[in-house]
Amino acid sequence: MKHIVKIMALLVALSAFWISLLQTSVLPQSYTWLLPLYFIVSLGCYGLLMVGVGLIQFPTCPHEAILLQKDIVEAKGFLKEKGVDIGSE
Amino acid sequence: MIRNSMEEKEEKNKYSIIVPTYNERLNIALTIYLIFKHLQNVNFEVIVVDDGSPDGTQEIVKQLQQVYGEDCILLRPRPKKLGLGTAYMHGLKHATGNFVVIMDADLSHHPKYLPSFIKKQIETGASIVTGTRYVKGGGVHGWNLMRKLTSRGANVLAHTLLWPGVSDLTGSFRLYQKSVLEDVISSCVSKGYVFQMEMIVRASRKGYHIEEVPITFVDRVYGSSKLGGSEIVEYLKGLLYLLVTT
Ligand SMILES: Nc1nc2c(ncn2[C@@H]2O[C@H](COP(=O)(O)OP(=O)(O)OP(=O)(O)O)[C@@H](O)[C@H]2O)c(=O)[nH]1
Ligand SMILES: [Mg+2]
């Protein structure tokens, strides 16, 4: 099944649920009408929240940059010794 | 007992490390040195696919062949810059190992992680081991806020829409069973970052066993980036494409 079909199915199921809520009026009608709006807004909030949290917790590794510099020096030393023409950057 | 059988497997396996290069004269030399440093007692070959770099990348690779042996470093150049996706396919045609590793030559993929890819594969029997920057032990260095923001945004979007089951979709440091790579790559059409995403999403949809290992990613020190332009638009298009085709 293509992934878009899964997502569509999910949306259809949600709409069906919503329509049944509208018809049986377990909740006040005016409230039910606003549910899709709440859904979209909360989806947006979820997205923003996830991006925000991801940014705050963004894993960084400054130490790795220092280790890499050491590796580069070591590699250049070896290669020069073997006569590989790596230039003089 | 377990150790013994692991060592036996390690001996039978051969790893073909495909490294596409374009103007990576210095970087490829450093990368190859580090590969040989970190992969002792492993049967492997490095396949450099160079797209006619004007900076003399191929000259350097030939010199490295003199140091490390021509059977360990294969230079499989192409006449002009034809893009990354086809570079992998080209390298794959010449691979003699039963496993293939794909990595960048710009030192943002550090060869010191190769043993952990191999170990993970042997432990789990996975078809694909993919390096991830977004779990404990992983990380990124050298990105500005904008770069981090787009990366996080792209990730959240892709996860919400595609449910891929792996944490790092656009990373390209991966180990594949050769037959699996051949199978997956033939159904991929995207370019750039989307290509990496398409590979892993298709593999996951096909039901291949995918494992992850943490890697750190230090942004390139030498040379310049070859991807660019309207990346965000391309990415969104790619996401849509994957939604309707996988
Ligand atoms: N053969 C070949 N290699 C390429 C081509 N474009 C990029 N590469 C190589 O592919 C690897 C990844 O390319 P990069 O330019 O580093 O792309 P990136 O990692 O997304 O960008 P950076 O932020 O610069 O690191 C490097 O080893 C490049 O040399 C190409 O058209 N042909
Ligand atoms: Mg890079």
Q: Is pTM beyond 0.80 here?
A: yes
Is the distance from CB of B32 to CB of B18 less than 8 angstroms?
no
Q: Is residue A18 part of a domain?
A: yes
Number of separate domains in chain A: 1
Q: pLDDT tens across B169-227, in order? A: 989 999 999 999 999 999 998 887 789 999 999 999 999 999 999 999 999 988 776 55
Q: Which of B4-13, B146-155, B209-218, B229-238 has the lowest mean pLDDT?
A: B4-13
Using CA atoms, how far apart are residues B242 and B64, in angstroms rounded to an integer? 40
Does the pLDDT of residue B5 top 70, yes or no? no
Side-chain-facing half-sphere of A78: CA atoms under 13 Å: 17
Q: Looking at the CA of B82, which ligand is closest?
A: 1
Q: Ligand 1: which of B106, B170, B172, B173 to mutate, judged by most atoms within 8 Å of the beta carbon?
A: B106
The C-alpha atoms of residue B180 and residue B70 are separated, in whole angstroms, by 27
Length of chain A: 89
Distance CA B108, CA B19 (A): 12
Q: Is residue A68 part of a domain?
A: no
Q: Using an 8 Å Cβ cutoff, are B174 and B131 in contact?
A: yes
Domains with residue ranges and CATH for chain B: 2-245 (3.90.550.10)
- Residues of chain A in Cβ contact (below 8 Å) with chain B: 2-4, 7, 47, 50-51, 54-55, 58-62, 64-65, 68-69, 71-72, 75-76, 78-79, 82-87, 89
pLDDT at B9: 57
Question: What's the pLDDT tens digit per position in A15-51?
Answer: 999 999 988 878 888 888 899 999 999 999 999 999 9
- The minimum CA-CA distance between B124 and chain A, rounded to whole Å, is 26
Its ipTM equals: 0.89
Q: Where are the alpha helices (DSSP H) in B102-169?
A: 114-124, 145-162
Q: Give B22-48 pLDDT, tens digit per residue.
A: 999 999 999 999 999 999 999 999 999
Q: Is position A82 within any domain?
A: no
Q: What is the DSSP letter of B234?
A: H
Q: Quick one: which atom of ligand 1 is closest to the CA of B220?
A: 25
Residue B146: Cβ within 10 Å count: 8
Residue B142 near residue A65 (C-beta atoms within 8 A)? yes
CA–CA dist A1, A28 (Å, integer): 37
Residue A81 lies in a domain: no
- Structural domain containing residue A35: 2-58
Tell me, using a 6 A CB cutoff, whether residue B51 lines ligand 1: yes
Residue A74 lies in a domain: no
Q: Using CA atoms, how far apart are residues B223 and B95, in angstroms rounded to an integer?
A: 27
Are A84 and B29 a contacting pair at CB < 8 A? Answer: yes
CA distance B46 to B39: 11
Cβ atoms of B223 and B31 within 8 Å: the answer is no
Residue B117, amino acid: F
Task: Confirm whether A79 is domain-assigned.
Answer: no
The verdict on residue A48 lying in a domain is yes
Q: Count residue pairs from A and B with Cβ separation < 8 A.
A: 99
Task: Establish if A89 belongs to a structural domain.
Answer: no
Q: Are B88 and B20 in contact (CB under 8 A)?
A: yes
Beta carbon of B20 within 6 Å of any ligand 1 atom: yes
B7-29 average pLDDT score: 88
Helix (H) or strand (E) holding B53: none
